[in-house]
Amino acid sequence: MAEYSVLIGGKAGEGINTAGLSIAGLFSRLGYRTYMYLDYPSLIRGGHNFAVIRAAERAIGAHRTPVDVLLAFDQNSIDNHRESIHDGTTVVYDASAVVKGEGYGLPLDDIVKEEKAPPITKNSAMLGALARVAGIGREVLEDVLRESVPAKHLEANLRVADRGYDAVETVFSVKPLGSRALPVLTGNEVTGLGLVHGGLDAYVAYPMTPTSNLLHFLANRAEDLSIGVFHPENEIGVILMALGLAYAGKKAAVGTSGGGFCLMTEGLSLAGMAELPVTIVMGQRPGPSTGLPTYTAQTELHFVLNAGQGEFPRLVVAPGDLEEAFTWSATALMLSWRYQVPSIILTDKTLAEGAFSFDIDAVTPHTDQEPLLWDGNGEYNRYALTKDGVSPLAFPGREGAVIKVNSYAHDEAGFTTEAPEKTRRLREKMLKKGESLSAELATYPVVKTYGTRDAGKTLICWGSEKWACIEAAEKFGARVVQPLVLAPFPARAWKEAMIGAGKVACVENNATGQLARLLRQQGFDPGRSVLKYDGRPFAVDELEARLAEVFA
């Protein structure tokens, strides 16, 4: 498989993210499938930011440590990545900032001064140098810049890019594949599009990494998408506003991370008791407390499974790539309304802020679901007892209906009660909804498998570690099993998927093996845990080395 990796590094504020996306666009134009891993500290200026952009002939979703080209804006970008440099690596560096550079030194300060261009255009010089090193023609470079740079700054960027192109030589040649160029989108962007596909009316959030960009994405396109976007004063206001919107008949989703979700848990319980549908996008990052706010983790699984006081059903899904993010975001919203339960979409920084080639034609949407609405006959009871536990919905302003929702134990009409028989029926009604939701999910692809059933070796993973596992498994002839729904847990589908599993390893981005713990609670053997908990995802080669110990 032909593939290429590029690392670009510099300080916060130098546009590393934007430059990385432009590099991904360069390869995408030639028909390659791309993935970008972005690493940055919680700083507005300074520190060390870098992005690893990988391009390959087939779909990918994880990075590798060795790179073919290193683009360095400062000395740290070379010193911090010695393990990525090998005999075949071409280094291009800013000679204005790097003292000990080997490779092509570009006098970027002089270039932007001579071209009367703003300092941020140094990125375009690096992009031009990369294009020349990789044997990519000027016309492709210019097309990418014309697409990504605002018109008023385009000419300056083109001039600076040409200077970078002319300052180096061709080292290798990236051949066009002839495949269709795909857009490069982040997990946040595709999650937002999935929510809209599922019928989203309003998105409510207080910005918190790694879901902040979902708020920004939807806010910038709210008019085009015909949705409302709201930024309340804190996460308590967020969840309560979303529940108010749901009471009024508007399909609402919220976004947060672990710290914000802490503040939402009382509202989550209110949603459970009042049977108000709400969808929560939960972007995981390392804790406790502030933790590592701009890094990644898979540490909130048991938090979201058990958050809130009392017992009530919930839907928890964990997509692993863009196609799953689109599909399951839509489905989580629709099923939340169909069964009047909270739904939680578990992502993490790796998926939320990572950039991937997105092929909408590869998406197989699930069946559309509509909420059960009151038909207008007879007296309206908000919590009417039904066979599947789901009560018909009506919304304020509906003629002939008094719509009372209640956080207290209540009867069918919504009036507070403490009578034993009525509270027992209320509890059984809630649990019945969970059973109905579980039965519905049995018709969905809730567990995915990759590789042959008789492999004799199996990797278990969830969420964003999916692609590193798929690639690493190929080296060992192993199979991959990935649960997409974590509550209600699909025990029957999991049992079927694990037939003939052989030697098993459970790969996770946490320190305690949270999926492994859930599997043991469900009566399954998760095998040996392979864990990484330094705030970074597994690189493919790193995971391969770890698995060699398991499958030796």
- CB-CB neighbours of 368 under 10 Å: 12
Q: Is residue 288 part of a domain?
A: yes
> Is 242 found in the same domain as 325?
yes
Contacts of 481 (CB under 8 A, 6+ apart): 447, 448, 449, 458, 459, 460, 461, 494, 497, 498, 501
Number of domains in the chain: 3
Walk across the sheet containing 528-531 and list its strands: 447-450, 479-483, 457-460, 503-508, 528-531
> Is 454 found in the same domain as 434?
no
Give dist(CA 402, CA 163) in Å, integer.
71
- For the CA atoms of 318, 322, 327, 328, the dihedral, rounded to the nearest 10 degrees, stands at 10
Q: Is residue 326 part of a domain?
A: yes
CATH code, 504: 3.40.50.920
Give dist(CA 21, CA 186) in Å, integer.
10
Using alpha carbons, select from 294, 288, 293, 301 the residue that is nearest to residue 347. 301
Give dist(CA 438, CA 210) in Å, integer.
30
Q: Cβ-count burial of 173 within 10 angstroms (0-12 exposed, 13-18 middle, 19+ buried)? A: exposed
Per-residue pLDDT of the chain (552 residues; tens, 9 = 90+): 689 999 999 998 888 999 999 999 999 999 999 999 999 999 888 889 999 999 999 999 999 999 999 999 999 999 999 999 999 999 999 999 998 878 999 999 999 999 999 999 999 999 999 999 999 999 999 999 999 888 888 999 999 999 999 999 999 999 999 899 999 999 999 999 999 999 999 999 999 999 999 999 999 999 999 999 999 999 999 999 999 999 999 999 999 999 999 999 999 999 999 999 999 999 999 999 999 999 999 999 999 999 999 999 999 999 999 999 999 999 999 999 999 999 999 999 999 999 999 999 999 999 999 999 999 999 999 999 999 999 999 999 999 999 999 999 999 999 999 999 999 999 999 999 999 999 999 999 999 999 999 899 999 999 999 999 999 999 999 999 999 999 999 999 999 999 999 999 999 999 999 999 999 999 999 999 999 999 999 999 999 999 999 997
- Do β-strands 46-56 and 33-39 pair in parallel, antiparallel, or remain unpaired? antiparallel
Q: Give the model's pLDDT for residue 1.
A: 67
> Is 65 found in the same domain as 105?
yes
3-state secondary structure 329-371: HHHHHHHHHHHCCEEEEEEEHHHHHCEEECCHHHCCCCCCCCC
> Is 93 found in the same domain as 235?
no
> Is 300 found in the same domain as 349?
yes
**Integer CA distances (angstroms), 74 to 87, 357, 419, in order:** 21, 29, 70
Last residue of a domain, one of 422, 443, 464: 443
CATH code, 20: 3.40.920.10
CATH code, 288: 3.40.50.970
Q: Is residue 500 part of a domain?
A: yes
> Is 419 found in the same domain as 495?
no
Q: Is residue 174 part of a domain?
A: no
Domain of residue 528 covers: 447-550
> Is 509 found in the same domain as 523?
yes
Q: Give the model's pLDDT for residue 11.
A: 92
394, two tokens: 């009506």
Q: Give the model's pLDDT for residue 148.
A: 87
Q: Is residue 180 part of a domain?
A: no
> Is 236 found in the same domain as 130?
no
